[in-house]
Amino acid sequence: MRFDPDFAVSVVPTILGGLGTTLWITVAASLCAAALGFILEILRRSNRWLGYVMRFVIDAIRSTPVLVQLYFIYFVLPVYGLTLPAAASGVLGLSIYYSGYLAEVFKGGIDSIDAGQFEAGKALGLRRRDVIVSVILPQMLRNVAAPMGNYFVSALKATPYLAVIAVPEMLGLAMEAGANSFRYAEPMVAVGIIFLILALGINFLVRQLERRLQAAHER
């Protein structure tokens, strides 16, 4: 079977029907993963015993396949009475999965902040949470912009996993187009190129952000 460029172009609108879903899931999962990862890392630092527990939680999240986590949320939790819509399950699954990795990124970002910054905040009489939010968080974000951006791209590329729990994202629609026409090469190439463009776009934005933060640092 020869590759048919016209057919490839013709399936693009169908696939782009899932663009909105793919994008909002990526954004929602990235933001939730960052928030959750930050909370995990802050709890890990708060005291010794909670530290051990959080260390285990972070490692456990990172050490189980994302598909297992997704299946668990979508197929197992309903057995125990918690049924979430497919898209919400997908956002939850990706958020949890990437929170483990982002917690590690944040650990490095916080470790590289001078201990004098915590002390200065403390000495001024700030509450721990004010030190964390006003002193540590902004400096950490500056340190981790690049690796955090990588995980956002990674989250984008993980959205096709959600095809297995029937979320109408782009890979799912491409598969459908393939099944309807018995031609898979064209939809797969098309969806691959769309992901490539999106990922390069996010990379570009992250690099811009990094440059701006860097400039702020050198002020």
Partner 1 sequence: MTSTPSAPAVRIAGLQKWYGSFQVLHDIDLTVQPNERIVICGPSGSGKSTLIRCVNQLETHDRGTIEVNGRQVGKTTPRMHILRRDIGMVFQHFNLFPHLTVLQNCTLALRKARGMKPAQAEEVARHYLGRVRIPEQQHKYPGQLSGGQQQRVAIARALCMSPRIMLFDEPTSALDPEMIKEVLDVMTDLAREGMTMICVTHEMNFARTVADRVVFMDAGRIVEQADPQTFFEAPSHPRARQFLSQLL
**Residue 48 C-beta: closest distance to partner 1, Å:** 14
Residue with tokens 């793919």: 22
Residue with tokens 């609108």: 13
**Residue 99 C-beta: closest distance to partner 1, Å:** 24
Helices 48-62 + 86-111 axis angle, to 10: 130
Sign of the four-CA dihedral 81, 86, 88, 90 = positive
139 contributes a contact to partner 1 by CB under 8 A: yes
207 contributes a contact to partner 1 by CB under 8 A: no
96 versus 132: smaller Cβ distance to partner 1: 132
Binding flags for partner 1, 84-123, as an x/- string (CB under 8 A):
------------------------------x-xx-xxxxx
131 versus 156: smaller Cβ distance to partner 1: 131
CB 177, CB 128: distance < 8 Å: no
Quick one: which segment of 6-14, 88-96, 138-146, 204-212 binds partner 1 (CB under 8 A)? 138-146
218 contributes a contact to partner 1 by CB under 8 A: yes
86 versus 141: smaller Cβ distance to partner 1: 141
Out of 1, 13, 48, 125, point to the residue binding partner 1 (CB under 8 A): 125
Residues at the interface with partner 1 (CB under 8 A): 114, 116-117, 119-128, 130, 134-135, 138-139, 142, 216-219
